[in-house]
Amino acid sequence: MNDVSREVSADISGLNEAGLDQGPFVGELDAQVAPPVSEWRRFLRIFFQRKLVVFGVAVLVILVLVAIFAPWIATHDPYRNDMSKALLSPSTEHWLGTDSLGRDTFSRLVYGARTALIVGFGTVAVAAVVGMILGLLAGFLGGWVNAVIMRIMDALMGFPMLVLALLLAAVLGAGIQNVIIALSVATLPAYTRLMCGETLSVKENEYIMAQRAMGAKSLRTMVKHVLPNAFQPTLVLVTSMLGNVILAEAGLSFLGIGIKPPGVAWGSMTADGYRFLEAHPQLSFAPAICIMLVVFAFNMVGDGLRDATDPKLRGVL
């Protein structure tokens, strides 16, 4: 009898050591219930699930690093003319050769990254901020405010973005500031209409209507409640628009009404090298490839942000 008791006690002790003393289904439930995944991890998983998005992020990281450390990466002064070295072929001294004025092509390519980022982020910052404010006012206040703002945006949208930027740049003249102004006005309607539409949908929510019924000030309600909810789609548009802005700036510089000398721009480099396309194709192909890669990278990152912020793909709906 004592032997049987000892065997039963040993079996019970074994079960306790195995973690089964809290119930027969605890181990099974623990195996079935997975730990919760944070929103940030879910966002990163969806964002980086496409290889093209990873490639786009890598290209943009390299672009930013090149723009920041351009003085240390460039092998020569990009603004120095040396006619004795005009139109040299690629060599160990001049990796991509020289242009018609003897300037090092690689160094100018490196400094062109700075121009692309300055114009891109400068234009998007101005257009996005002004467009979000106008769209927020038009959507939330409605009435004559909405009518005036949206009619102006409709008039601007009557012109294609590049055509409107071309007209404004021709009037304002060449220069990086004028290019930013021209492209900001040309891209302004996209941000304004998007923010207006998002504001109209958000302000119909019950908590917004309750705030207004309680006498909350319009400015406080817009800043605290409407703006955060309408900010997400605008962020996706900003990323996608960066590529279009850089491409438009390259087009203006190619036509000679963008960045004026001695400024360095990939578009003007492409135009300058076009005359020597047969003998020195790298003078045009190198900046053109940079434009293509950067525009493609921004578009891929924009698509990744759109997918990662989509409630259906995030498992919210």
pLDDT at 14: 53
Measured in degrees and rounded to the nearest 5, phi and psi for residue 264 equal -105, 125
- Which residue in 89, 109, 97 sits closest to 267, CA to CA? 109
- Tokens at 62, concatenated: 């390299």
pLDDT tens digits, residue range 36-91? 557 788 878 888 888 999 999 999 999 999 999 999 999 999 999 999 999 999 99
User: What whole-number percentage of the chain has pLDDT above 70?
Assistant: 85
Q: Which of 49, 67, 47 is nearest to 59 (CA)?
A: 67
- Which pTM was predicted? 0.81
Q: How far is CA 14 from the centre of its chain?
A: 59
pLDDT of residue 295: 95
Count of CB atoms within 10 A of residue 306's CB?
Answer: 18
pLDDT confidence of residue 306: 85
Q: In the 8-state DSSP scheme, what is residue 98? A: B
CA separation (Å) from 86 to 83, 89, 253?
5, 9, 22
Q: What is the mean pLDDT of the chain?
A: 85
d(CA 249, CA 264): 12
Identify the structural domains of the chain with CATH numbers, from first to last.
2-32 (no CATH), 39-308 (1.10.3720.10)
List, as one string, the DSSP characters of 37-87: PPHHHHHHHHHTSSHHHHHHHHHHHHHHHHHHTHHHH-SS-TT---GGGTT
Q: What is the pLDDT of residues 81-115, one digit of tens each?
A: 999 999 999 999 999 999 999 999 999 999 999 99
- The larger pLDDT score, comparing residue 308 to residue 62, is at 62
Average pLDDT over residues 2-8: 52
